[in-house]
Structure 1
Amino acid sequence: MAEAFCGLKFAASVTAFGVLQDCASPVEWGFEGGRRGRRSGFAGAGGERGGCAGGEGFDRRVSCQNETGEGHGGDDDEVFHACWGSSDRATPGALKIALVHYSYAPVIGGVETVLAAHARLLAEHGHEVTVICRRGESDDPRVRLERLGEKVDAVGLEGWLAGQDVVFLHNVTTMPFDRALTAALARAAERLAGVRFVAWIHDLAAGNPDYEIAANDELLARAHPRYEYVAVSELRRRQWEALTGARSRVIPNGVDPSRVLGLTERVGELAARHGLLDREIVLLHPTRLLRRKNVELGLAVTAALTAAGKACAYLVTGPPDPHNAASQGYAAELGVLRARLGLEKDAFFLHEDAPVEERDLASLYALADALFFPSRQEGFGLPMLEAALHRLPIFCAAIEPLDTLLTDGVTLFTLDADPAQIACEIVAQLGETDSWRARRQVRQEYAWAAVYRNYLAPLLASPPT
């Protein structure tokens, strides 16, 4: 049986503290959110926030069960697991793929960045990749680079293309920067019937007032019968169809979150190894393993989130105190609890690999979605200030001095609050945060790994159109 908290379904199971909570009965939420001292309600039916019936400072009593009984598995979860095409589609066999553009990295440009990402992704998935351009260098031994001469050698170009299974033509079919190359590619496509040509439309010169290209230009404003077309946006798709009458599919550009976030090599490797950038919620807990730090509550909340079907990770930074036998014993207890809760792949004690350096900690703040700080005792609470500087929402225990440090961006919970209730509040608060929703969308839809999985792999697996 599954019980619902605030629109989430939680498996009815023994919590980390050995107490089976009765979801059908009213419970004391015991949360404070927003500005210091303000009590917040929880998400009610349909996920909407409820105000406190008695005004600020009033402890609202509500039923855990929502009106519809709906929980995990809605549209957001479908988006999270979405794949353009069948989710069990087999990875296509290794192909020989050429990417053609005017230039390549380290030349700086938007298309060059996309081209380099495509080359890396295709190589990572076992394809044999060749880049054909006038300027650029390949620093990846898996990516071969063929450089065009000052004048297009049509015979040599056709020789390079003849050995390929697929050729991606990035912008060279719709922009006027090398008409000789555009024309040579068009002729090669007519002769190489066994090669699949996919023209990538990043930009359109024809009809653009910034370029003096006629809308009836035979080379740049006409669809080639041997090309399939890919537009990088719905706008470009509509513009191309209006110009030529030809259809195209949309495959968006992407970003490398590790690079954009400036993750250190260690944190980037950690994120890749455990799929942290694919998680819905990453909770950061910067702390040593001391009993007063209440790490067991973090484990229990993580278990509640995973039981609700949320892809969650809990990152604990510090080691036990090597000079404190009690700390060593506490660390061992936490290891046992993690195993009992089945969180070996969701809760990580980062000291087990290596000490977390200061620059790694900054990367962890950049990676995380929220600070989780459940201490029973604190003298100050420096991680709260660090988290605020990193624009992270903060979930922390309602104890002094934590409840006096910041006036905004903090959600407080009592130390005796049920872990499932805390999980519910985390989901509700993050769901109301525009920046978290935007970050989640970018990671799920526009991270290069998602673009490959959702678009490039299905394109390569599909028959030519």
Structure 2
Amino acid sequence: MKQTIAILHYTGPPTIGGVEATIGAHARVLAAHGHAVRIITGQSSLAQPGVAELTHPGLRSRGERVEQVARELAAGIVGPRFAALVAELAEWLAGALAGADLAIVHNLLTLHKNLAFSAALQQLLAAGRAPRLLAWCHDFAWRDPLYAAELHPGAPWDLLRTAWPGAHYVAVSADRRATLASLLGIAADQIAVVPPGVDLAALLKLAPATVALCEQLGLLPADPLLLLPARITRRKNIELAIAVVGELRRLGLAPKLVVTGPPGPHNPANAAYLAQLLDLRERSGARTAVVFLHQQYTDELGQPRPLGDAMLADLYHLADGLLFPSAYEGFGMPLIEAGLAGIPIFCSDIAPFREIAGDAALYFGLAEPPATIAERIATTLRADARATLRRRVRLSYTWEAIYRHAVVPLLADPR
């Protein structure tokens, strides 16, 4: 069900900070999935379709009025300036939150950077004038020695170490969850863990066409994602690669093999070879796991699009390994490219490949059983800690993956 979701913090993008980056990413992914998003802060300029931005200067952590109240609070003074700001913000927030189904609130329940903002929100929640609340907790004032002199027993400081009725707490790591549970005196299993993520396309500088292709073909969840950059000709021995992928599936993995090229244009027998490969793909159990790009990456008339060097480079940056089982070659440019991309090489044991890769590749014999090759590939990937982390990030730490696996359950039912 699509919801109206408010996101609250002192500031939003483009202010530089980990929380602001999370807010921007959450807003984008929520809007992309059809939710109506409101960013409610003291200052924000995301300019994202589907995202409204409501600002009030009293919500910031800086500014003359807010800082004057903060100085009084740091001295232990809860005076009329604080009360007036709380009342003003509560009234404004009631309007800003009207009609929202959910509020994702960053740090306001555990950090003291604008206690009037926190107190105003707590008043609305207690009065039933605020929506369901997810308290996203990154930092804890009461657990940071840098802030000890600014905190005092009683209200409003105790708001930051007391579990608010009606709020569901979220921590950004298991370690933070343990600290938060101790601070609030609640069980750790009452606190969800939702980590920050990474924008894969931005970090790897992926072209929009590559991102769209990955979404279309479901490449990012592959484990492992293997690349076979070649035209479809018999000497490329693609049937062995298909059989290996089938065996990887039987090992319990979720592989994808991307064959980048079309059938070779100079031999009419290549069309028959492709038909054999498609039949083998069906019989090997690899039907959905082997992708022939010339069939999937097409224009509006169904004709294959040229892959291009930029997209091929993107695929190298995404892949977990090169699978290149050629029966014979004069050289082996994909090994050079894979070496530069820094991905594992799994290739046939032929002289040109040995000349290029030396002992930096996993070689297999052309007559070696596919099951044996698959087991060796799986073992190699499991033994490489950096490659394992790389796959885990791609599978679990993109903003989209975090949304699907961790945020969606909270939107449906936070308990």
Same fold (TM over 0.5): yes
Match of 1:290 among 224, 233, 236: 233
**C-alpha displacement of 1:372:** 0.7
Please tell me whether the aligned partners of residues 207 and 215 of structure 1 are also in contact (alpha carbons under 8 angstroms): no
How far does residue 351 in structure 1 lie from its aligned partner after superposition? 2.9
Which structure has the highest helix share of the two? Answer: 2
Matched pairs, number: 372
* 194 and 100 in structure 1: CA distance in 2 versus 1, 3 angstrom threshold: closer
Which residue number corresponds to residue 100 of structure 2?
164
**Match in the other structure for 1:338:** 281
Compute the displacement of 1:426 (Å). Answer: 0.9
Higher deviation after alignment, 180-189 or 421-430? 180-189
The within-5 A match list for 1:399-418 is: 399-418=350-369
Which one is further off, 147-156 or 393-402? 147-156
> What are the residue-to-residue correspondences of 1:43-54 with 2, within 5 Å?
none
Rounded Cα–Cα distance in structure 1 between residues aligned with 2:183 and 2:368: 61
Contact 1:315 1:348 in 2 (8 A): yes
Matched, 1:225 2:168: no
The separation in 1 between residues aligned to 2:99 and 2:55, in whole angstroms, is 16
Does 1 or 2 have the higher relative contact order (CA < 8 Å, sep 6+)? 1
For the residues of structure 1 that align with 2:352 and 2:115, how far apart are their CA atoms?
68
**RMSD (Å) for aligned C-alpha atoms:** 2.3
Deviation at 1:109?
Answer: 1.8
Name the aligned partner's letter for residue 291 of structure 2. Answer: F
Say if 2:390 is the partner of 1:439. yes
Task: Give 1:273-422 correspondences, 5 Å limit.
Answer: 273-341=216-284, 343-352=286-295, 353=297, 354-422=305-373
**8 Å CA contact 1:205, 1:213 repeated in 2:** no
Specify the alignment match of 1:154 in structure 2.
90
Contact 2:320/2:391 (8 A) holds in 1:
no
The answer on whether the counterparts of 1:206 and 1:213 sit within 8 Å (CA) in structure 2 is: no
Choose from 204, 211, 220 the match for 1:261: 204
Task: Tell me, yes or no, if the aligned pair for 1:318 and 1:355 is still in contact at 8 Å.
Answer: no
Deviations 1:247-269 (A, max 9, x none): 43322222233333332222221
Give the aligned partner of residue 195 of structure 1: 131
Partner of 1:84: none
- For 1:393-434, what per-residue CA distance to the aligned partner results, in whole angstroms no more than 9, with x for missing partners? 111111111122223331111111122221111111111111
Q: Is 2:8 the counterpart of 1:100?
A: yes
- Cα separation, 1, equivalents of 2:248 and 2:229: 20
Whether the aligned pair in 2 keeps the contact of 1:101 and 1:133 (CA below 8 Å) is yes
Counterpart AA for 2:175: L
State whether residues 395 and 426 of structure 1, in contact with CA within 8 Å, keep that contact through their aligned partners in structure 2: yes
- Residue 227 of structure 1: CA displacement? 2.4
Aligned counterparts of 1:458 and 1:203: Cα–Cα separation in 2:
23
Gaps of 5+ in 2: 60-87, 298-304
Please give the TM-score of this superposition, normalised by the length of structure 1: 0.74
Give the TM-score normalised by structure 2. Answer: 0.82
Superposed CA deviations along residues 135-158 of structure 1, whole A, max 9, x for unmatched, are 222333222221223576432211
- 2:26 matched residue in structure 1: 118
Q: CA separation in 2, counterparts of 1:360 and 1:412?
A: 27
Stretches of 4+ aligned residues off by more than 6 angstroms: none
1:209 maps to which residue?
Answer: 145
Q: Which residue of 2 aligns with 1:39?
A: none
Is contact 2:43–2:57 with CA below 8 Å preserved after alignment?
no
Question: Where does residue 448 of structure 1 map in the other structure?
Answer: 399
Q: CA 1:328–1:215 in 2, change beyond 3 Å: closer, same or farther?
A: farther
Any conservation in 2 of the 1:280–1:312 contact (CA below 8 Å)? yes
Decide which moves more: 363-372 or 384-393: 384-393
Secondary structure in structure 2 of the residue aligned to 1:278: coil
Residues 254-308 of structure 1: per-residue CA shift (max 9 Å, x gap): 2233333332222221222222111111111111222211112111212222233
Q: 1:322–1:328: 8 Å Cα contact kept in structure 2? A: no
| Alignment match, 1:242 | 182
Structure 1 segments unaligned to the other structure (5+ residues)? 1-92
Aligned sequence identity (%): 41
- Report the CA distance between 1:328 and its aligned residue: 4.3
**436-445 vs 95-104, which deviates more?**
436-445
